[in-house]
Structure 1
Amino acid sequence: MGTAVKKMSVVQLTVLTAVNMLGSGIVMLPSKLAQVGTISIFSWIVTALGSLALAYAFAKCGRFSRKAGGMGGYAEYAFGRSGNFMSNYTYGVSLLIANIAIAITAVGYSVVLFKTSLSPVATAIAAIALLWVTMFANFGGARITGRIGNITIWGVILPVVVLSIIGWFWFDFSTYRAAWNPHNMPFMEAVGASISITLWAFLGLESACANTDAVENPERNVPIAVLGGTLASAVIYIVSTNVIAGMIPNAELVSSTAPFGLAFATMFTPLVGNIVMGLMIVACIGSLLGWQFTIGQVFKSSADVGYFMKIFGKVTKTDTPVAGMLVLLACQTALSFMTISPDLSGQFDRLVNLAVVTNLVPYLMSMAALMTIQQAANVTPRQALLANIVAYIAAAYSYYALFSAGADAMMLGGIVTMLGWTLYGTVSRRFMKDGSPHPVGEKLPV
């Protein structure tokens, strides 16, 4: 008999979930929230509750779904093959855009660390160079990429946690109060203005449900771990961004492209601030390295089952989809030039809003499918009731986040999503068998 595989405890999975969420998304947050003011703490509360609802519903999706492919598999229960395609397509596009935002973050910190300045075009070119380097670094395969990411992520986590604990010794309530609502925005407008950027920090929470088979008693422990990890991340996000807002005057914080470096320079010395900036740059590059690999795999897995063009499924000897990754890199390069803004912060804003809008499409499809997923798993209506209610709450929050992203992001996101239907039409002929559609669940011809 083989040795039983040792499974994670609920505490271990909770910690893993929190670490997965506490990535490079927080690096620019203090400066972005300062544009609205410390009233944005209400945005954090709304997003934390919305993210907890999403996390719980995703835990249930992961527990009861019997289809592969993550959110695409969830969506297929309710929307068939077109839903699977659209979920994976919009998720892939979201990662495509989000990776550019991560690259912009690394450039912003580098500009401060090396005491230089860049024009909008030079900023875009620097970000593109970083995207190319990290994509090329993945051509050798996944092993090194995974190890680097597991180490570099601590370059973000450690400073943020340290600041959350000891930053209160430098906190000044008068500074915090002065930054409450610097532009005198109406309450609902102020809350809505920060929803996209706070949700940006939680994107990826759906991946926390991927460890169902690796944990003891998953039906009980996965929802506990996902909710606990999301709540822990929310607390760290809220505490760290608000303690900085009470340390640094609002005008100074708004203009900074390296807020955590500025915070540590204020607390200790400029040298310590530079060290923290260096750690966060390395963390962003490590994060980007992992996400560039992930996006290649997302498009490859969909190509393997016939949803995306065959070029995305072609692999080298190291099982790396190099040809598809080069196509994605060309798209990222074009998007970087298309989103050029007079200042780095403006370009970051446009990218984040667009990434959030496209990422919410598979979120909404997954929430809508949960009722069907549970029914297919023979969960009784009574047992399914709580999860279904939570899914509707999560969907309501997602619609609010879409609205809050603004007209420009909604328009561009809508065009990108509509383009997906055209692309689906070009591949849907593969799903025909003797003039009729393949039954849902049957393996598709490639």
Structure 2
Amino acid sequence: MNLITATALVMGNIIGGGIFLLPASVAPFGTISLVAFGVLTLGAICLALVFGRLAQRHPDTGGPYVYAREAFGDFAGFLSAWSYWTMTWVSNAALAVAAVGYVHVLLPGHGSKGLDLAVALGALWLPALANFAGTRYVGAVQLVSTVLKFVPLLFIAIVGMFFFDPHKLGSFHEGGGSTLGGLSAAAAILLYSYVGVESAAMSAGEVRDPERNVGRATVLGTIGAAVVYLLGTLAVFGTVSHDKLVKSQAPFSDAVDAMFGGHWGGTVIAAAAVISIVGALNGWTLMSAQSPYAAAKDGLFPAAFLKKQRGVPTFGVLAAAVLASALTVINYFLGTGGVFEILVLITTFSATVPYLLAAGAQIYFLLSGRRDKVRPGRFARDLTLAVLAFGFTFWLVAGAGYAAIYQGVLFLFAGILVYALMAARRSDRAERRDDEERTEEAREAAPSPVLSGSGPGA
């Protein structure tokens, strides 16, 4: 993947389907939510810069896993890989279910449980097929889908400024309480808007000139997503009256209708949403295979995850698609919506574990004297960025809520059993290898037998 494709991967993974509901989600807090978005954007850019610096040090596939293992050892690396892997395939199932709702807007009157399941499974397996074709096709799909969703959203954001009415904004802080409380409450909803900032670092091994391009793609993709987020939300705030926006189920559609009249906005936005979700699934399917692949190379995940074709870990793609499909079937047929919601909550916490470990790894590398590939003049700046990124990620954890942290920690600890099994197998293999080496050394050290009847006098 070149710089443009890697940037599209970052932007496409950050911008999923949630953006189409975000303005309505934060409208109850007032325009203070725009301030919260700005603060979060600065934190996300700090995290992006840290990933760029880490990729210069370790330009390998696996991103956060590689950094955590190098800094803190196998166990920390495993926790990073385990958390990231579970987050990807569970969130893929959630994205597929979200796509069904937008398909209903495009094709009204064709809903049934079986058809909805077929649409959701199609949303999972079409990106999986693109991944099986190789990174070249993953990059092509990601680039096209990112352009197709970025252009209409940016169009609404820019054109919306010409229809902007400040009287529709509502008050700065709605709902009473302190300003700081309102800022934190809005941020809690917006916190995970930037999950995916690590996408280029995760696939560094498949990026051309990763030491140079991973950092650039990460920052450019994050800034591009931020432009869409901030301008789009501001345009919706200024074109849809506040009392209507709070109750809106399709804020961008309402904004299009307010700007141009009619009721065709819903169809346009639904099409953009489907494209956005499919593009996000394409990128996240690749991400779901990269972390276990990197861990499997070190014996921390089953060896099956090492199977790779055309730059893509095919077994990892298959495993993620199967697990996400199983969750989708549970959601539609077993009626265990509560279980599905719990698993989605787990993803909100699981995403932060690799971020915290990566930021901590950068702090460790800088403070332990391992400043290779870091210019002396950059030390203070890099350390400041790493501390800010760690603080930003810590804020993500705090904003996840008690339920997400509780469920996420339980699922994280369940991975300890997997680590114990893999560590035991590695230990057995290491002992057998040592025994074989000792046997070979003993054989080489033993004196050679003297053949009877040999010698010049025989």
- Any conservation in 1 of the 2:9–2:143 contact (CA below 8 Å)? no
Matched-pair identity in %: 25
Give the superposition deviation at 1:34: 2.6
- Any conservation in 1 of the 2:9–2:283 contact (CA below 8 Å)? no
Is residue 358 of structure 2 the alignment partner of residue 366 of structure 1?
Answer: yes
2:66 matched to which residue of 1? 73
Distance 1:70 1:211, change over 3 A: closer
Cα-to-partner distance string for 1:302-360 (whole Å, 9 max, x where unaligned): 33442222444456x878766654543443245447778xxxxx999877654332111
2:390 to 387, 390, 395: 395
- Any conservation in 1 of the 2:199–2:287 contact (CA below 8 Å)? no
1:424 to 407, 419, 423: 419
- Any conservation in 2 of the 1:155–1:282 contact (CA below 8 Å)? yes
1:271 to 260, 264, 288: 264
1:443 matched to which residue of 2? none
Q: d(CA) in 1 for partners of 2:409 and 2:147? A: 36
Q: What secondary structure does 2:240 align onto?
A: coil
More deviation, 50-59/21-30: 21-30
Within 5 A, what are the aligned runs for 1:215-364?
A: 218=212, 226-227=218-219, 229-268=221-260, 269-314=262-307, 324-336=316-328, 354-364=346-356
Q: What secondary structure does 2:239 align onto?
A: coil
* AA aligned opposite 2:20: V
- Any conservation in 1 of the 2:10–2:198 contact (CA below 8 Å)? no
Distance 1:223 1:240, change over 3 A: same
Count, aligned residues:
420
Q: d(CA) in 2 for partners of 1:216 and 1:132? A: 29
Q: What secondary structure does 2:421 align onto?
A: helix
Is residue 370 of structure 2 the alignment partner of residue 376 of structure 1?
Answer: yes
Cα-to-partner distance string for 1:55-100 (whole Å, 9 max, x where unaligned): 1211211112366531111111221112222111111112123223
Instruction: Provide the TM-score with structure 1 as the length reference.
Output: 0.79
- Any conservation in 2 of the 1:135–1:325 contact (CA below 8 Å)? no
Q: d(CA) in 2 for partners of 1:58 and 1:412? A: 27
Q: d(CA) in 2 for partners of 1:325 and 1:42? A: 38
Cα-to-partner distance string for 1:354-412 (whole Å, 9 max, x where unaligned): 43321110110011111333433435777423212221121112111111111111111
2:106 matched to which residue of 1? 113
Q: What secondary structure does 1:205 align onto?
A: coil
* AA aligned opposite 1:420: G
- Any conservation in 2 of the 1:75–1:369 contact (CA below 8 Å)? yes
Distance 1:37 1:66, change over 3 A: same
**Which structure has the bigger radius of gyration?**
2
Q: What secondary structure does 1:307 align onto?
A: coil
- Any conservation in 2 of the 1:306–1:427 contact (CA below 8 Å)? yes
1:414 matched to which residue of 2? 409
* AA aligned opposite 1:65: H
Within 5 A, what are the aligned runs for 1:124-135?
A: 125=117, 128-134=120-126
Distance 1:380 1:314, change over 3 A: closer
Is residue 163 of structure 2 the alignment partner of residue 164 of structure 1?
Answer: no
Unaligned runs of 5+ in 1: 1-6, 341-345, 439-446
RMSD (CA atoms):
3.9
1:147 matched to which residue of 2? 140
Q: What secondary structure does 1:183 align onto?
A: coil
Is residue 156 of structure 2 the alignment partner of residue 177 of structure 1?
Answer: no
* AA aligned opposite 1:397: F
Q: d(CA) in 2 for partners of 1:437 and 1:76? A: 23
Q: d(CA) in 1 for partners of 2:274 and 2:380? A: 45
Distance 1:139 1:404, change over 3 A: closer
Q: What secondary structure does 1:306 align onto?
A: coil
Q: d(CA) in 1 for partners of 2:314 and 2:211? A: 39
Is residue 183 of structure 2 the alignment partner of residue 191 of structure 1?
Answer: yes
* AA aligned opposite 1:244: V
More deviation, 398-407/198-207: 198-207
Q: d(CA) in 2 for partners of 1:265 and 1:331? A: 39
* AA aligned opposite 1:411: Y
- Any conservation in 2 of the 1:297–1:321 contact (CA below 8 Å)? yes
Q: d(CA) in 2 for partners of 1:161 and 1:23? A: 12
Cα-to-partner distance string for 1:419-441 (whole Å, 9 max, x where unaligned): 22221111012433655999xxx
Distance 1:225 1:289, change over 3 A: closer
Q: d(CA) in 2 for partners of 1:17 and 1:286? A: 9
* AA aligned opposite 2:238: G
1:206 matched to which residue of 2? 198
- Any conservation in 1 of the 2:13–2:284 contact (CA below 8 Å)? no
Give the superposition deviation at 1:282: 2.4
- Any conservation in 2 of the 1:261–1:273 contact (CA below 8 Å)? yes
* AA aligned opposite 1:426: L
Q: d(CA) in 2 for partners of 1:319 and 1:383? A: 34
Within 5 A, what are the aligned runs for 1:87-102?
A: 87-102=80-95
1:39 matched to which residue of 2? 32
Cα-to-partner distance string for 1:136-188 (whole Å, 9 max, x where unaligned): 5347422444322321222220112112211022222122125x444335433
2:51 to 31, 43, 58: 58
Q: What secondary structure does 2:351 align onto?
A: helix
* AA aligned opposite 2:396: A
